[in-house]
């Protein structure tokens, strides 16, 4: 049994982050901004991208926040439908959170994110783009 989030379920390209931030639906919490958008493959598992600027803290603090977010996503990603990309922007107040705090905050908005992700799949594509399948 592996306890890592596979690279295929992570967002790694800057272009993907920019696309999601432009097209996605935002949900704001006290410590995070969660942006959900449709991914390129409608049957692929949900993918995660994390952004933590220097305002969050030094590199150790930012890495800790990213690890916590990744672990919460890895343990319970069944609430997002397949083919969805999620970008999490970490706010500076998140450095005080532990695993239980991140999980509690996300559980309060999971329903909203799941509904918004489901509606994104049903939208017609913008003019000039191929439709999502």
* Model confidence, pTM: 0.84
> What pLDDT sits at residue 117?
78
Which domain does 85 fall in, by range?
8-118
pLDDT digits (tens, 9 = 90+) for 21-69: 998 999 999 999 999 998 888 888 889 999 999 999 999 999 999 999 9
Closest to 35 in 3D by CA, of 100, 106, 85, 103: 85
CATH number at residue 63: 3.30.230.10
Number of domains in the chain: 1
58: left (phi over 0), alpha (psi -120 to 50) or beta: beta
3-state helix, strand, coil in the chain (%, to 5): 45, 20, 35
| Distant-in-sequence, close-in-space partners of 122: CB < 8 Å, separation ≥ 6 | none
The answer to whether 65 and 99 have CB atoms below 8 angstroms apart is: no
Asked whether residue 41 is assigned to any structural domain, the reply reads: yes
pLDDT of residue 109: 87
């Amino acid at each position: 049994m592996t306890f890592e989030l596979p690279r295929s379920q992570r967002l790694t390209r800057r272009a993907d982050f920019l696309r999601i931030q432009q097209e996605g639906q935002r949900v704001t919490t006290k410590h995070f901004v969660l942006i959900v958008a449709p991914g390129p493959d409608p049957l692929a598992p949900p993918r995660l991208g994390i952004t933590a600027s220097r305002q969050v803290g030094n590199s150790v603090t930012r890495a800790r926040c990213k690890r916590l977010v990744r672990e919460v996503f890895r343990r319970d990603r069944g609430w997002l439908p397949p083919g969805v990309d999620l970008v999490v922007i970490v706010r500076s107040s998140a450095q005080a959170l532990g695993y239980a705090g991140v999980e509690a905050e996300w559980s309060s908005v999971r329903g909203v994110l799941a509904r918004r992700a489901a509606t994104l799949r049903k939208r017609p594509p913008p003019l000039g783009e191929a439709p999502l399948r």
